[in-house]
Amino acid sequence: MNAHAETTLLEQVPTGLFIGGQWRQAADGALIDVEDPATGEVLAQVADASVAECVEALDAAAAAQASWAATDPRERSEILRRAFEAITARADDFALLMTLEMGKPLAEAKGEVTYGAEFFRWFAEEAVRISGQYSVAPTGGTRLITTKHPVGPTLMITPWNFPLAMGTRKIGPALAAGCTCVVKPASQTPLTMLLLVQILTECGLPDGVVNVVTTSHTGEAMGTLMADSRLRKVTFTGSTPVGQKLIEQSAQQVLKVSMELGGNAPFLVFEDADLDEAVEGAMLAKMRNIGEACTAANRFIVHESVAEEFSERLVERMTAMKIGRGTEEGVTVGPLIDAKAVDGVHGLVQDAIDKGATLRCGGEPMPGAGHFYPPTVLLDVPAEAELVAEEIFGPVAPIRTFADEAQAIEMANASRFGLIGYVFTRDVSRAIRVAEALEFGMVGLNAGVVSNPAAPFGGVKHSGLGREGGAEGIEEYLETKYIGLKL
Ligand code: NAP
């Protein structure tokens, strides 16, 4: 990838606030630097909205709500469908932009463009399938009618790890349902969202329906919006502590809440598993997005009879990965998002080693520019190691062993998180038994990735509330109204 292509793209991406259909800079001219995590260099500067400017974004969303809700479902659908096609046509630009601001390898960024765009196609199809019910009351006479209505203006707060897909899987169902929104992307990766909203306007989105604010006054600004009675819903993807705070704040206005929070995925390998598939699945579940995914395998739990072979093969694959800037040919491991992330991952690795784990590869931050951490495998990890309980969010695979199925399930469920669990076995009965016993919102059976716009994504326990995607996705943006009709 040449520097000219990068510069040209960056010059095209809007950097302002998008409020009421207008691009503008912050009134005081304040800016936020957006860095390339592979070099530490500043890629661009985006507007830094004041709290008042964030409220103006809600003014615009609230003003547009009634007319957007009244827009024909087919028209809402067509806008999303056109946006799906426009994102697909500009897939290379979106992919490069995500690699530049977030660090993931270009091939993975292209995968995210496909995945992210699909939410618009899926919800374009859902927009015209919103329906209610009509039934006769059990006692006869009265007719029970239920209708669906958009929840109303929604605040969307998104993280940096999937800058496109975490936006489209909120914006897609909201627009399909007839909700307007204020979107606040992560300060570290705002450029993808700004390009996305530009494309939505080119596809005919009316003014005020989607408003995007970038701000460094995040806590205060979001707190102010959450306290505003015009807001009706908050949807958040990010860390559990911030999610918990938002749930608390949502109580003031009794907002409808959707939370996609942290994970701590167990990856179970039974003695009858196809080890080729298990290792392949492990690489996907662990290394996709440099390990910076809520769905990342966080705890490998492997039957003692196959643990050695599985570990050896995993180490071989992990050490063969190419580390570098995601734009470079053949790179499979990009940088972590920032220096704090490197410190956090390294701290967890050191803690595990201090408590008795054996380091098999990696284990030291890479010297030089950028925030690189090498693929790392730890064996014999004790239960007390912090990374057994905490989300690693980096390229580190801790391996523990189990003796029988009951122990495997117990170890897997021993977490306050409950987003996804992976199970590798060739025994179908066991697969179903274990999948049913796992206290997680999602289970991958002989699969290292399960994310699919047509499926309900989400977790239980500290991993969140609600589902994104699938038939369930649009329900998060709809209220049910019951009309009782006495004949
Ligand atoms: P984060 O620190 O929680 O930030 C996420 C978003 O919340 C950012 O836009 C951030 O804005 C904003 N934010 C921070 N403090 C806030 C506050 N007090 N009030 C309102 N908003 C606030 O999370 P992250 O480090 O970016 O993302 C990684 C986390 O996301 C991981 O835990 C991961 O598991 C989780 N995740 C979950 C899913 C899922 O679907 N379950 C998917 C992807 C990621 P600023 O950038 O301005 O600080």
Q: Read off the pLDDT of residues 155-200 as tens digits, 9 standing for 90 and up.
A: 999 999 999 999 999 999 999 999 999 999 999 999 999 999 999 9
pLDDT of 129-139, one tens digit each? 999 999 999 99
Sheet strands side by side (includes 256-260): 22-24, 17-19, 210-212, 181-184, 154-157, 233-237, 256-260, 464-465
260 tagged catalytic: yes
- Structural tokens at position 352: 């595990």
**Given a cut of 70, is residue 287 above it in pLDDT?**
yes
Contact 469/447 with Cβ under 8 angstroms? no
CA of 68 to the centre of ligand 1 (A): 28
126 tagged catalytic: no
pLDDT of 38-67, one tens digit each? 999 999 999 999 999 999 999 999 999 999
| Residue length of the chain | 487
* Residue-range domains of the chain with CATH: 3-261+464-486 (3.40.605.10), 265-453 (3.40.309.10)
pLDDT of 352-375, one tens digit each? 999 999 999 999 999 999 999 999
**Given a cut of 90, is residue 312 above it in pLDDT?**
yes
457: DSSP letter: B
Q: Which residue lies with its CA nearest to atom 11 of ligand 1?
A: 186
pLDDT of 57-94, one tens digit each? 999 999 999 999 999 999 999 999 999 999 999 999 99
**Given a cut of 80, is residue 1 above it in pLDDT?**
no
Contact 440/420 with Cβ under 8 angstroms? yes
Contact 388/407 with Cβ under 8 angstroms? no
Q: What is the mean pLDDT of residues 210-234?
A: 98
CA of 157 to the centre of ligand 1 (A): 7
CA of 237 to the centre of ligand 1 (A): 6
Active-site residue identified among 112, 260, 292, 391: 260
pLDDT-above-90 percentage for the chain: 99
Residue whose CB lies within 8 A of the most ligand 1 atoms, among 242, 295, 371, 450, for a mutation test: 242
DSSP string of 178-217?
Answer: T--EEEE--TTS-HHHHHHHHHHHHTTPPTTSEEE---S-
CA of 241, closest atom in ligand 1: 3
- Structural tokens at position 406: 């009951």
Residue whose CB lies within 8 A of the most ligand 1 atoms, among 294, 340, 415, 416, for a mutation test: 294
pLDDT of 288-303, one tens digit each? 999 999 999 999 999 9
Taking the model in full, what pTM does it have?
A: 0.98
Q: Any residues with Cβ below 6 Å from ligand 1, and which?
A: 157-162, 166, 184, 186-188, 218-219, 222, 237-239, 242, 245-246, 260-263, 294, 391, 419, 459, 463-464
Dist CA 370 CA 373 (whole Å): 10
Contact 258/292 with Cβ under 8 angstroms? no
CA of 214, closest atom in ligand 1: 47
CA of 158, closest atom in ligand 1: 9
CA of 269 to the centre of ligand 1 (A): 30
Question: What is the average pLDDT score of the chain?
Answer: 98
145's CB contacts (< 8 A; 6+ apart) are 132, 133, 134, 482, 483, 484, 485
β pairing state of 376-379 and 396-402: parallel
Cα–Cα distances (Å) from 449 to 234, 324, 325, 394, in that order, read: 27, 24, 24, 17
340's CB contacts (< 8 A; 6+ apart) are none
CA of 218, closest atom in ligand 1: 47
pLDDT at 2: 79
Amino acid identity at 171: I
